[in-house]
């Protein structure tokens, strides 16, 4: 029996594994697929010493005060469940951060601490999306939005990230969520205040919630970043510690937004993620006091260097934040990425992971200047 | 507009919060509810110094070697994303644990490390359950099974945890999952080898996957525990570090089972939880070498003490593991729990969180002997 077109089948072996034709996976599993990325990583895994511009995390170490705060929390035996919503001192510190740095008010009781922005997106989508629900994304976008929305059966409309008022005015009135990431993974695009206002108006007209993934907020090289919550109160703001403080493997993030949606996500967290790792929550408090300007300045320099090297060769738009560029390349992205790996031991990510277009690559410049220079040499050689 | 009978509504306030009657939460959010537990905790929160027998975690501190291993991992800057499936050295050590302690073979490539057993249950159910799918639970059972199954629209059948072959033979042939927890939260019941065989036969007949939540495996006071994977290869075994090593807030667990189901859960983890906290994964390796027999002996003593105090007063069945008893009480559970809080400052959990019956309470004996004695005094006074 093939169940709803499901392609997977549980492997059955061993003495009690009677073969049946019963399929166990939900049909929705057929709608997420990581084979594309896996194929690239399998190819890349064969390389001895690749030039790695595929990385989605800072190359600098986690700042010492964060490590020390975790060690202190461990010494104090802060290893038990915390309250589902996150420890109050962290939510209080986040409340101050949203006020001081993001320019909006978020009370501690309206903040949910979770185990990474991906976890928050999952909680948000599980709490809201029913099959057929309509969601607006900007294109290109972080692959998890599209994957999890497909998984849950949402209907997706995209507008280019460089959208104008005209692009938004043409949209219909039946939207549940409007999701964007600024500064953007994968393009480095920073959403202008005007663009956010247009999306906010659309949210107002349609009853949709505006979801602003601001995990790259610190990597804002031209002072162009506006936090959506400062423009529009009905924003679900997602903030993360992973990129800002190079703690991707420590799993800490927070959301704030419409009260009942935060309540629903908290209820759901209680039944799934339970809580963010306790000692990491404690370390999140001093993290928010850190001055990361020298790390950001280094990546600004990297961004400028990449723009300079690619000028006149590849079109990268205006990457003003995060630590990626997303150039259009001649030919098909997967073939290009395979050639980069085979001919130059250069790792970049095929753009079709982030957009339906097949002629872009994502280049990360979250690395040291030497690696970046070798990467740019290799990339330009390939053209 | 009321959307699929949805009761919740996003609170709208602030200047741009035009009131619309559009509801944003998915209908499924109406099918999980934490109000019952919240109400108890709200009552309990008013107490200065309660006798707390409601706790679902050991009272002893996380063993020092685990803390030290985390500190070492932090010093070595192991703070970045790990591979989605979990670090190989931990999966190798888990493979050895499953062989040596659980009596079955699990290759490292068939093990998924995640951020707690609740996370694994979520991944498992998201990967498998479609609305209307039929799942068998034993009763009473851990509240998350029922909550998340309801959330995803499963059809649930229950059999008593003390089921006989007859109870299983009467079941129909259309099952997707059979889920049980042994030793059991909330009752301490340890599933006999015969019971596991009957469930395995049922799984074989129906094509269902047998899911064994063995998070309390170490708390096996009478040597009665059998790991389901040693009897039936098509078992999805869920193991956790939280209870065994008192690290509930560190978020570490692992699953092993049918290959394609582990693959599906890993794919889904990549889009949701991403990975378990990196330094905690490293600490999981030495944790599995620890000898916890003195902690287990202390809880065995507590179990014996509770049985002795309750003998002839309350029926608790045969609690042979975990750290709970689940006595039948006179009258309605919620009223009893409220009375316990108000009259005796005693915290226990109403049984209706774990079963449809309304006349049980869960009493945790994961505490020091003095607190336990005061708790038993209070409980017996209430009868």
Cβ atoms of B245 and B292 closer than 8 Å: yes
Cα angle for residues B348, B354, B359 (degrees, 5° grid): 65
With residue A155 as reference, give the H or E element that holds it.
strand A155-160
Rounded CA gap, B161 and A107, in Å?
45
Mutation site, B10, B70, B201, B364, interface A, largest A CB count within 10 A: B10
CATH class of B64-287: alpha beta
The sheet with strand B361-364 has its strands ordered as: B324-325, B361-364, B349-350
The sheet with strand A134-139 has its strands ordered as: A111-114, A253-256, A235-240, A209-213, A177-181, A134-139, A155-160
List, for residues B41-57, the tens digit of each pLDDT value: 777 878 888 999 998 99
Instruction: For residue A78, list chain B residues with Cβ-Cβ distance below 8 A.
Output: 249
Could you say which DSSP state residue B138 is in?
Answer: E
Q: Where are the beta strands (DSSP E) in B269-344?
A: 324-325
Instruction: For residue B63, list chain A residues with Cβ-Cβ distance below 8 A.
Output: none
Instruction: For residue B70, list chain A residues with Cβ-Cβ distance below 8 A.
Output: 70, 74, 279
Percent residues over pLDDT 90 in chain A: 87
Interface contact A77-B70, CB threshold 8 A: no
Tell me what the mean pLDDT of segment A82-86 comes to.
95
Mutation site, A34, A80, A278, A279, interface B, largest B CB count within 10 A: A80
Tell me what the mean pLDDT of segment B276-301 comes to.
98
A154: tokens are 């949402």
Query: Which segments of chain A belong to CATH 3.90.1150.10?
Result: 32-56+292-382
A285: tokens are 């408090």
Rounded CA gap, B319 and B298, in Å?
15
Q: What is the pLDDT of residue A41?
A: 75
- CA A82, distance to chain mean position in Å, is 25
B22: tokens are 């559009």
List, for residues A136-152, the tens digit of each pLDDT value: 999 999 999 999 999 99
Pick the CATH number of A77-287 from 3.40.50.1440, 3.90.1170.50, 2.120.10.80, 3.40.640.10: 3.40.640.10
Q: Which residue of B has its CA nearest to A275?
A: B249
Q: Which residue of B has its CA nearest to A121?
A: B272
Q: What is this model's ipTM?
A: 0.93
ω before B127 within 30° of 0 (cis)? Answer: no
Lowest mean pLDDT among B5-9, B87-91, B199-203, B257-261: B5-9
Q: Does position A44 have pLDDT exceeding 90, yes or no?
A: no
Nearest to A353 by CA among A367, A334, A375: A334
Q: What is the pLDDT of residue B6?
A: 30
Q: What is the pLDDT of residue A349?
A: 94
Cα angle for residues A109, A115, A121 (degrees, 5° grid): 80
Cα atoms found within 13 Å of the Cα of residue A131, Cβ hemisphere only? 6
List, for residues B159-168, the tens digit of each pLDDT value: 999 999 999 9
**A64/chain B closest Cα distance in angstroms:** 9
Q: CB under 8 Å to A263, separation ≥6 — which residues?
A: B8
Interface contact B258-A10, CB threshold 8 A: yes
Q: Average pLDDT, whole number, for chain B? A: 92
Cβ atoms of B179 and B202 closer than 8 Å: no
ω before B294 within 30° of 0 (cis)? Answer: no
Q: What is the pLDDT of residue B45?
A: 79
Better-predicted residue by pLDDT, A190 or A47: A190
Cα atoms found within 13 Å of the Cα of residue A185, Cβ hemisphere only? 22
Q: Where are the alpha helices (DSSP H) in A239-277?
A: 259-270
The phi and psi torsions of A5 (rounded to 5 degrees) equal 70, 15
Q: Which residue of A has its CA nearest to B131?
A: A26
Find where tokens 């509770």 sit: B306
Instruction: For residue B247, list chain A residues with Cβ-Cβ distance below 8 A.
Output: 79
Interface contact B26-A130, CB threshold 8 A: yes
Cβ atoms of A1 and A22 closer than 8 Å: yes
Q: How many CB pairs under 8 A join A and B?
A: 249
Q: Which residues sit opposite B125 in a β-bridge?
A: none
**B308/chain A closest Cα distance in angstroms:** 30
For B29-61+292-382, CATH gives 3.90.1150.10
Instruction: For residue A116, list chain B residues with Cβ-Cβ distance below 8 A.
Output: 273-274
List, for residues A8-43, the tens digit of each pLDDT value: 333 333 333 333 334 899 999 999 877 677 777 777
Burial of A64 (0-12, 13-18, 19+ CB in 10 A): exposed
Better-predicted residue by pLDDT, A158 or A19: A158
* Number of neighbours of residue B19 by Cβ within 10 angstroms: 8
Cα atoms found within 13 Å of the Cα of residue A272, Cβ hemisphere only? 29
Cβ atoms of A71 and B75 closer than 8 Å: no
List, for residues B230-270, the tens digit of each pLDDT value: 999 999 999 999 999 999 999 999 999 999 999 999 999 99
Q: Does position A284 have pLDDT exceeding 80, yes or no?
A: yes
Mutation site, B271, B281, B282, B364, interface A, largest A CB count within 10 A: B271
Mutation site, B67, B118, B277, interface A, largest A CB count within 10 A: B277
Query: Which segments of chain B belong to CATH 3.90.1150.10?
Result: 29-61+292-382
Closest CB to B11 among A16, A56, A258:
A258
Q: What is the pLDDT of residue A296?
A: 98
Q: Where are the alpha helices (DSSP H) in chain A?
A: 35-45, 64-75, 88-97, 117-128, 143-151, 165-169, 193-206, 259-270, 278-287, 293-310, 333-344, 369-382
pTM of the model: 0.93
Rounded CA gap, B214 and B191, in Å?
11
Q: Does position B179 have pLDDT exceeding 70, yes or no?
A: yes
Nearest to B1 by CA among A152, A233, A155, A174: A174
Query: Which segments of chain A belong to CATH 3.40.640.10?
Result: 77-287
Q: Could you please state the CATH topology (level 3) that the domain comprising A32-56+292-382 is classified under.
A: 3.90.1150
Tell me what the mean pLDDT of segment A111-127 comes to.
98
Q: What is the pLDDT of residue A43?
A: 79
Instruction: For residue B248, list chain A residues with Cβ-Cβ distance below 8 A.
Output: 79-81
């Amino acid at each position: 029996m093939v169940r709803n077109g499901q392609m997977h089948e549980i492997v059955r072996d061993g003495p009690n594994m009677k073969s049946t034709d019963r399929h166990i996976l939900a049909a929705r599993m057929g709608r997420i697929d990581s084979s594309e990325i896996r194929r690239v990583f399998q190819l890349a895994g064969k390389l001895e010493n690749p030039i790695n511009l595929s990385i989605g995390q800072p190359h600098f170490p986690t700042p010492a005060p964060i490590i020390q705060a975790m060690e202190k929390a461990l010494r104090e035996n802060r290893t038990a469940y915390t309250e589902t919503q996150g420890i109050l001192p962290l939510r209080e510190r986040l409340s101050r951060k949203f006020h001081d740095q993001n320019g909006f008010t978020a009370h501690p009781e309206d903040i949910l601490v979770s185990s990474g922005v991906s976890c928050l997106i999952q909680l948000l989508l599980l709490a809201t999306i029913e099959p057929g629900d309509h969601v607006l994304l900007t294109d290109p976008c972080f692959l998890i939005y599209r994957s999890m929305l497909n998984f849950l059966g949402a209907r997706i409309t995209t507008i280019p990230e460089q959208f104008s008022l005209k692009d938004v005015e043409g949209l219909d009135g039946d939207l549940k969520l409007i999701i964007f990431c600024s500064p953007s993974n994968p393009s480095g695009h920073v959403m202008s205040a005007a663009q956010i206002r247009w999306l906010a108006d659309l949210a107002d007209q349609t009853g949709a919630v505006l979801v602003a993934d601001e995990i790259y907020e610190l990597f804002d090289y031209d002072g162009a970043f506006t936090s959506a919550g400062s423009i529009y109160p009905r924003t679900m703001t997602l903030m993360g510690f992973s990129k800002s403080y190079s703690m991707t493997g420590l799993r800490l993030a927070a959301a704030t937004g419409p009260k009942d949606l935060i309540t629903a996500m908290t209820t759901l967290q209680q039944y799934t993620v339970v809580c963010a790792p306790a000692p990491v929550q404690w370390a999140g408090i001093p993290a928010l006091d850190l001055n990361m300007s020298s790390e950001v300045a280094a990546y600004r320099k990297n961004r400028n260097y990449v723009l300079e090297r690619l000028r006149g060769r590849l079109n990268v738009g205006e990457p003003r934040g995060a630590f990626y560029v997303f150039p259009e390349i001649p030919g098909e992205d997967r073939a290009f990425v395979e050639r980069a790996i085979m001919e130059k031991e250069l790792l970049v990510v095929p753009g079709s992971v982030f957009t339906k277009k097949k002629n872009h690559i994502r280049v990360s410049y979250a690395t040291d200047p030497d690696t970046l220079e070798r990467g740019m040499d290799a990339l330009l050689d390939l053209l």
